Amino acid sequence: MRSALEQAVMAGDRGEIPVGAVVLGPGGEVLSAAGNDRESSADPTAHAEVLALRRAAGRRGEWRLTGCTLVVTLEPCTMCAGAAVLARVDRIVYGAVDEKGGAVGSLWDVVRDRRLNHRPEVVMGVLAGECGEVLKRFFATRRIR
């Protein structure tokens, strides 16, 4: 999660919403890391999770990320939760809960939907306070006073 937090801080420094993600291989090695990049790339799908999953798949040379773990600082949205399911990651580890758009247990629970053919393990709340604080600081500097 510390690596994902570093990615989040770097994204925030670029003016992106500070969310970071890391994909770990079956042995715990870092396959990829990314921060949000929607503003810079003008790409609505450039969430940290999607970018990290794409890079990990590219590094492995296949789209199936079986045995891998997606670590992200904020609970994934529906797009990112769906991408993790489709990539067949074994587990999703996240920090802060997203009550407004989370799709891994908060607002929705895409990854545990029994109608889907793959359901990753979920570990929530890892360094949640620190992950949430990065977001709070970012948005505090953007509020109109």
User: Rounded to whole angstroms, how far apart are CA atoms 43 and 35?
Assistant: 13
Is 118 among the annotated ligand-binding positions? Answer: no
Say whether 54 sits in a helix, a strand or coil. Answer: helix
Has 39 been annotated as catalytic? no
Catalytic residue among 6, 16, 39, 49: 49
Q: Beta partners for 72? A: 21, 94
Residue 96's closest CA among 66, 71, 70, 128?
128
Cβ neighbour number for residue 126 with a 10 Å cutoff: 16
Contact status, residue 107 vs residue 54, Cβ threshold 8 Å: no
Is 68 among the annotated ligand-binding positions? Answer: no
What positions carry a catalytic annotation? Answer: 49
Binding residues for Zn(2+): 47, 77, 80
Binding residues: 47, 77, 80
